[in-house]
Amino acid sequence: MGKRVVVDPITRIEGHLRIEVEVAGGKVVNAWSSGQMFRGIEMILQGRDPRDAQHFVQRSCGVCTYVHAMSSVRAVDNAIGLKIPKNARIIRNLLHGAQYQHDHLVHFYHLHALDWVDIVSALKADPKKTATLADNVGNAQMGGAAYYRQVQQRIQTFVDSGQLGPFANAYWGHPAYKLPPEANLMACAHYIEALRLQARAARMHAIFGGKNPHPQSLVVGGVTSVGDMTPDRIAEFLYITKETQDFVKNVYIPDLLAVASFYKDWGGIGGTTNFLAYGDFPLTDAEPDSLYMPRGVVKKRDLANIGMAYEDKVTESVTRAWYEDGPALHPYKGETKPLQEDPKYRPDSGKYSWIKAPRYDDLSCEVGPLARVLIAYGKGHKDIKPVVDSTLQKLGIPAGALFSTLGRTAARGLETIAIGDAMQGWVMELVENIKGGDTQTYEPYEMPESAMGVGLNDVPRGALGHWIKIEDGKIGNYQYVVPSTWNFGPRDQKGQLGPVEESLIGTPVADAKQPLEVLRTVHSFDPCIACAVHVIDPDSNEVYKFKVV
């Protein structure tokens, strides 16, 4: 029996996550992932107006904002049998693309970078050498020795103040940090630049969505932002997406490659086995055929035989989660009841998480950037395949290294290149459409008394599905299975580990008191735990028996 190491809270994520690992012989031999909060948004949705659901579910997460609202209106669109107008499709895609650009940048620099970058080491860097390094690896607009000297001075002043704030008590100086001081300084400078850029990038949501976080321009049937389809608004959107993409290509990707080149061993750590993507960005009404990022399933890492993904093969298991026991069921039939008690954390044989365990065809599947990129790569996607091949070549690693923590982190950057570039084309498509006289943004409808619908998307963190059952014109049942439920779910009724649990096994841990390596793999999935936990009690009306204390 190895040593048990608990990391709780996992910081630099959304939500409340606890990770426990067992370490033996300097490696992780067992792992448990546990969601620590339950709000019950699906229970709250019961009996409400189907049109309102999007506003509730959007509050699942303020980091992956927008995406739940989108899947929700698509589920209701689908239940009604609506086809939304072309402008609405494009604007929904543009808002979603903006979320990708924003989210992936923030993840790399602000949630993940400090697992690889040692800020304290940056103080030892030579600013001149840093400038040279930056010129060699990237094409950033900001730079030069004076620039890096100023950044370094700023960090020094901060450290000298003795108030280290959010950077206090971290793993600085840990032996697993491999970057030279100059690379650390360069990354610190870009951490700060990216903080500023993300605030500007979020304005894309405000342009067609009124605000960010939690944009508010989607409705069942289309979008409401008809007044923003003006030349100045569209031009502003285009400008910001280009500015963001400039940073992605000239700073983010070069940094990613520079950092990766020091951590190539992580191309052999942190991999999983099966992958699922619903795909996203419909380029016409035809789904899944027209999806820019394709739908598919990879089983046992076999990229030569990518299957189609069908939503009816999704089930959720609650054997090891804090809900009353029952069989694994499809979301339309989900029968879940949260334990009405202070839940006991029993990782070894009992229940240990608020996150349920979704399975596709009974398989635990990783979702997210790596799943999407693998599926697109395997299908020979015209924009994804070249960037993946050139990255593998630059790093001098084989395609097999994609199944790893490094591959996951790289995939996030690589898909941002493709999606961000594609967005510019979608903006022009919107312009052409408006020029042609089509300003329709909404399709009227009658809400059916009873219907069922599903909204499938692939959002920055992975495959997202919302299922709605409308009864008497109200929400009879609502269920969503989100990316972090897939990735961070616990064991299922067969004992099969969740993807993150699987990925952690074999991870080296140099110092059990400072499990930096564990954080690397956990963060590579970009956890969003508030999204992951939300459960419904569909048929029993049990919810109404609760008494508010």
Site for another protein in 2-21 (CB under 8 A): 6-16, 18
Counting other chains too, the contacts that 331-336 makes at CB distance below 8 Å and 24 or more residues apart are 331/465, 331/467, 331/479, 331/480, 331/481, 332/452, 332/467, 332/469, 332/477, 332/479, 333/538, 334/477, 334/479, 334/535, 334/536, 334/538, 335/537, 335/538, 335/539, 335/540, 336/535, 336/536, 336/537, 336/538
Q: Does 64 participate in catalysis according to the annotation?
A: yes
Nearer to another protein, 342 or 348 (CB): 342
- What is the smallest separation between the CB atom of 41 and another protein, expressed in angstroms? 7
Q: Could you tell me which residues are beta bridge partners of residue 280? A: 293
- Stated as kind and residue range, the H or E segment containing 516 is helix 516-524
- Identify which of 143, 58, 118, 127 has the alpha carbon closest to the alpha carbon of residue 459: 58
- What is the smallest separation between the CB atom of 528 and another protein, expressed in angstroms? 9
Interacting stretch for another protein, rule CB under 8 A, among 164-172, 242-250, 310-318, 325-333? 164-172
- What is the smallest separation between the CB atom of 480 and another protein, expressed in angstroms? 14
- What is the smallest separation between the CB atom of 19 and another protein, expressed in angstroms? 8
Window 223-262: residues binding another protein (CB under 8 A): 223-228
**Which residue among 195, 235, 308, 428 contacts another protein (CB under 8 A)?**
195
Q: Which token pair is 138?
A: 């990237």
- Please provide residue 268's backbone torsions phi and psi, each rounded to the nearest 5 degrees: -120, 10
- Identify which of 102, 75, 285, 295 has the alpha carbon closest to the alpha carbon of residue 209: 102
Pattern 60-99, another protein, x by CB under 8 A: xxxx-x-------------------x--------------
Q: Does 346 participate in catalysis according to the annotation?
A: no
Distance CA(439)–CA(430), nearest Å, equals 10
**Which residue among 80, 125, 207, 374 contacts another protein (CB under 8 A)?**
207
Selecting among 20, 42, 64, 415, the annotated active-site residue is 64
Burial of 472 (0-12, 13-18, 19+ CB in 10 A): exposed
Interacting stretch for another protein, rule CB under 8 A, among 126-134, 416-424, 504-512, 541-549? 541-549
- What is the smallest separation between the CB atom of 424 and another protein, expressed in angstroms? 20
3-state class (DSSP) for residue 171: coil
Interhelix angle 405-435/86-106, nearest 10 degrees:
150
- What is the smallest separation between the CB atom of 224 and another protein, expressed in angstroms? 3
Distance CA(30)–CA(21), nearest Å, equals 6
Contact by Cβ (8 Å): 365, 276: yes
Q: Which token pair is 91?
A: 């604007």
Nearer to another protein, 63 or 411 (CB): 63
Across 376-473, where does the E strand assignment appear? 451-459, 462-471
Q: Does 484 participate in catalysis according to the annotation?
A: yes
Q: Does 68 participate in catalysis according to the annotation?
A: yes
- What is the smallest separation between the CB atom of 511 and another protein, expressed in angstroms? 12
Q: Which is it for strands 357-360 and 451-459: parallel, antiparallel or unpaired?
A: unpaired
Pattern 101-120, another protein, x by CB under 8 A: ---------xx--x----x-
Selecting among 18, 182, 408, 528, the annotated active-site residue is 528
Whether the ω angle into residue 213 lies within 30 degrees of 0, i.e. cis, is yes
Distance CA(164)–CA(400), nearest Å, equals 40
Q: Does 102 participate in catalysis according to the annotation?
A: no
Q: Could you tell me which residues are beta bridge partners of residue 317? A: 357
Window 34-63: residues binding another protein (CB under 8 A): 36-41, 43-44, 48-49, 51-52, 55-56, 59-63
Nearer to another protein, 30 or 273 (CB): 30
Nearer to another protein, 165 or 396 (CB): 165
- What is the smallest separation between the CB atom of 188 and another protein, expressed in angstroms? 11
Pattern 134-163, another protein, x by CB under 8 A: --------------------x---x--x-x
Q: Does 188 participate in catalysis according to the annotation?
A: no
Distance CA(466)–CA(472), nearest Å, equals 19
Q: Does 365 participate in catalysis according to the annotation?
A: no
Q: Does 51 participate in catalysis according to the annotation?
A: no
Selecting among 12, 14, 188, 520, the annotated active-site residue is 14
**Which residue among 171, 247, 323, 525 contacts another protein (CB under 8 A)?**
171
Q: Which token pair is 141?
A: 């607009």
Pattern 330-359, another protein, x by CB under 8 A: --------x-xxxx-x--------x-----
Nearer to another protein, 35 or 267 (CB): 35
Window 481-540: residues binding another protein (CB under 8 A): 514-515, 519, 530
Window 392-451: residues binding another protein (CB under 8 A): 439-444
Contact by Cβ (8 Å): 320, 350: yes
- What is the smallest separation between the CB atom of 425 and another protein, expressed in angstroms? 23
CA–CA–CA angle 218, 295, 71 (5° rounding): 20
Nearer to another protein, 150 or 305 (CB): 150
- What is the smallest separation between the CB atom of 89 and another protein, expressed in angstroms? 14
Across 235-279, where does the E strand assignment appear? 275-277
Interacting stretch for another protein, rule CB under 8 A, among 179-187, 207-215, 260-268, 394-402? 207-215
Selecting among 12, 18, 68, 92, the annotated active-site residue is 68
Q: Where are the alpha helices (DSSP H) in 107-225?
A: 119-122, 127-137, 145-160, 181-201, 203-209
Handedness of CA 503, 508, 513, 519 (dihedral sign): negative
Window 209-228: residues binding another protein (CB under 8 A): 209-217, 219, 221-228
**Does position 174 bind another protein by CB under 8 A?**
no
Q: Which is it for strands 27-35 and 218-219: parallel, antiparallel or unpaired?
A: unpaired
Nearer to another protein, 224 or 409 (CB): 224
For 435-450, give one letter per residue: b (16+ CB within 10 A) or e. Answer: eeeeeebbeeeeeeee
Selecting among 484, 502, 517, 523, the annotated active-site residue is 484
The residues carrying an active-site annotation are 14, 61, 64, 68, 461, 484, 528, 531
